[in-house]
Amino acid sequence: MDRLKALRSEIDDLDQSIMELLEKRMDIAIEIGNYKQLKNITVFDSSREQSILEKASTFSHSPQISNIYKAIMKESKSLQRK
Ligand SMILES: O=C(O)C(=O)C[C@]1(C(=O)O)C=C[C@@H](O)C=C1
């Protein structure tokens, strides 16, 4: 039980950092969205997404990281379209 508590505490610390970084990323995505709207640029940029997904798969061979990035970028686009 002590071990479970300790591991959960590690996850809590990591979640705090992940959430802070995701919040920052979303703020920047909103700024990019505003810029794109101003300049009449489409929200979806396939080559940029491919390059991020390539980085994710180079960083880690586990498909989970790429899947998480797909979800992050889906939310990013939805924020930009608001
Ligand atoms: O880099 C951009 O152009 C963005 O809008 C950001 C972002 C992302 O979340 O990384 C979101 C949508 C695009 O399809 C590509 C990338």
Domain ranges of the chain: 2-80
Q: Which atom of ligand 1 is nearest to the CA of 46?
A: 14
Buried b (16+ CB within 10 A) or exposed e, 14-37: eeeeeeeeeeeeeeebeebbeeee
CATH of domain 2-80: 1.20.59.10
**pLDDT of amino acid 1:** 84
Report the 10 Å Cβ neighbour count for 49. Answer: 16
Closest protein CA for atom 3 of ligand 1: 45
The complex scores an ipTM of 0.99
**pLDDT of amino acid 61:** 86
Per-position pLDDT tens, the chain of length 82 = 899 999 999 999 999 999 999 999 999 999 999 999 999 999 999 999 999 999 999 998 899 999 999 999 999 999 999 8
Ligand 1 and 52: CB distance under 6 A: yes
